[in-house]
Structure 1
Amino acid sequence: MAVTASAGAVRPLFHLPGDTGMSSLNLLVAFLVVVVTVQTVVALAYFAHRHPGAIQPLALALAGIAVMVAVVMPIAAR
């Protein structure tokens, strides 16, 4: 964390007004989203390995999901 020198006060360099950092609930939700995402990717990879004929429809579905995520994430991040 960088510090600015202004009248002896120690402040973080990139501090947003009203920003208190991530709460425990936010960290827990972020962790669970990552775990579920990893599990889903592994399950889809296993499914594609077991059923090679389903790779093309599976790739199309994943492309559609990626487009939806690309549209929704900037809105949700506001």
Structure 2
Amino acid sequence: MCPDFVIEVRSKTDSIIYLQNKMQEYMANGCRLAWLIDRYGKKVYIYEPGCAIIEHSGFDIQLSGEQVFPGFVLNLGEIGNF
């Protein structure tokens, strides 16, 4: 069983390579959208099936979950320093 949508936030003890592999595993198992938020590297990785991984530097970004949850938007800039 695999979720349609995943948001993973890197914690201090997480390896970014481990989390990137975990995201790839979700995608291989049918996940439709996954966001990996790297708090320490200040990057966001967006995963969608059949697409190249999109990487954004910084958190001044608005993420849209429209593909899976119409109307869902996460404005990372408003969250601040999480």
TM-score (norm 1): 0.28
Structure with a larger share of its residues in strand: 2
Structure with the bigger RCO (C-alpha within 8 Å, sep 6+) is: 2
Structure with a larger share of its residues in helix: 1
Question: Which of these two proteins has the greater Rg computed from alpha carbons?
Answer: 1
